[in-house]
Structure 1
């Protein structure tokens, strides 16, 4: 059997929940496409969207970092019940955890160690000394980015 070309169309059998199948059918009718075309278009669009986000964020690693930070922010906002851009204490916690995440990701550790440490870091508050040190680092970074002197 000859090898398939990238442009070949092939049959693919998948199992989906009935609710999803109905949703896809409704959308295919709304978009005046076959069910197969709807599914194919949505799959292709999902890959294109990921590629575009990777381009915007400067690569897959940066995109993963921003997704991680987004999850951290959502977790903090759920804990405080306030939005980071409307509450100074929540914003401060987001800044501290963001810095801690970036520092943590720059360490040479295994993925298992990072996952365990990340879980613990989200549950344990930073010590006062660590908070002060990280706030100082953030202020220094902001001043350096703005051209000021720390």
Structure 2
């Protein structure tokens, strides 16, 4: 985490090395270290400059944390996980999952799990796991016995 000088924003940043500066996850914090806003960008200079010039919360910014990701997919997942776990004050999108997602039921269970983990509300997922884990709702590994009229 770095202290930000709002009057000399770019000069105050120690930009990350290694991965090309393009798949950036950034977090802005207030003076107490509380998260204000979490975002991502593949064009960080313009995105961060936009926040600096237009965000209603910019006057509260004291710190920034930045992480680079090697792919856009990993960046999207990291942003969503960070927003859901840290609950920043000014993020509106991403705090809850989508109301509906397309889930393919004939195919890879791993792919379906990825969709749910990426898109669903964490509380919904916790409830779903609890329900599917109860003995009366657990999936049967074998067919139940024939009731006698087979």
Query: Which bin holds the TM-score, normalised by the shorter protein?
Result: under 0.3
TM-score (normalised: structure 2): 0.25
Higher strand share: 2
TM-score (normalised: structure 1): 0.25
Which structure exhibits the higher relative contact order, with contacts defined as CA atoms closer than 8 Å and separated by 6 or more residues?
2
Bigger Rg over Cα = 1
Higher helix share: 1
